[in-house]
Structure formats: structure tokens, C-alpha cells
């Protein structure tokens, strides 16, 4: 590992400072969300990515990254919606449709369990 390269935690803190001053900078919010996701801090990543999407709703990589964070926290409905949205914005974004196909069975299984509990 390059000794001069900042550790991810240092990058998050640097990004937080930048985002505080650029709260309307979609790219800065996205960058912070991605780093937080990479650190497994998806509960913190989600609001950053949601804000980035509010600012730039037609940027598929924002929706794709939000979908990955939703999937990581077990929100398969949110994940499916955002994977599909990313794909609808850019039909060449095959990772997005692959993500959608991956989470749909998880979403349906969860819905099935909820139905069974409601019937019991």
C-alpha cells in the first residue's frame, strides 16, 4: 500500500469538511456516499446519495450507488427501485440491471415472509 495515500477514514473526514461547504455539490455528496459505503457505513451513505440525486436526478451512477447502499442495509425495495432507475436513465448500464435482477428475489422473499406473518 502506498504510504502517502490517505486511509479511507481520513478521506471521509476530508470529504465531510468539503461537503459542509458545498452541500449543494452533488459530486461531493456522491463521493462521500461512495466512501461511506466502502467503509460499510451505509446508514450514513444513504442520505448523502439521496441528496446528490435530489440535485442531479438523471445521474445513473448516483442511483446505482444508492441502490448498493440500500441493498447493504436490507432495503431491497429501495435497492430495486434505484437499480432500475439507473438502468432506465442509461440502458448501457448493465451493472444496474444485474443489480436489479439480484435484489428482486430477495425483495420477493421478504414480501412473502411478511405475508406469512400477516396471515398467522
Q: Which tens digits make up the pLDDT trace of 96-118?
A: 999 999 999 999 998 888 877 77
How confident is the model at residue 117, as a pLDDT? 74
Question: What's the pTM value of the predicted model, to 2 decimals?
Answer: 0.79
pLDDT category at 43 given cuts 50, 70, 90 is very high
How confident is the model at residue 24, as a pLDDT? 87
21-29 CB contacts, 8 Å cutoff, 24+ apart: 23/51, 24/55, 25/55, 26/51, 26/52, 26/55, 26/56, 26/59, 26/62, 27/52, 29/55
Nearest Cα to Cα of residue 100 among 89, 116, 115, 112: 89
pLDDT for 3 beyond 80: no
Question: Nine-digit cell at 16?
Answer: 465531510
Q: What is the mean pLDDT of residues 5-17?
A: 58
pLDDT category at 1 given cuts 50, 70, 90 is very low
Task: Kindly list the structural domains of the chain, giving each domain's residue range(s) and its CATH number in brackets, ordered by start.
Answer: 8-119 (1.25.40.10)
Amino acid at each position: 500500500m502506498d504510504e502517502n495515500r490517505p486511509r479511507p477514514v481520513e478521506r471521509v473526514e476530508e470529504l465531510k469538511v468539503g461537503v459542509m461547504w458545498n452541500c449543494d455539490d452533488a459530486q461531493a455528496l456522491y463521493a462521500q456516499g461512495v466512501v461511506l459505503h466502502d467503509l460499510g457505513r451505509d446508514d450514513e451513505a444513504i442520505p448523502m446519495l439521496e441528496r446528490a440525486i435530489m440535485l442531479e436526478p438523471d445521474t445513473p451512477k448516483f442511483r446505482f450507488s444508492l441502490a448498493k447502499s440500500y441493498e447493504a442495509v436490507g432495503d431491497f425495495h429501495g435497492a430495486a427501485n434505484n437499480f432500475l432507475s439507473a438502468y432506465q436513465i442509461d440502458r448501457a448500464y448493465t451493472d444496474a440491471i444485474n443489480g436489479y435482477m439480484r435484489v428482486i428475489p430477495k425483495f420477493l422473499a421478504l414480501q412473502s415472509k411478511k405475508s406469512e406473518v400477516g396471515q398467522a
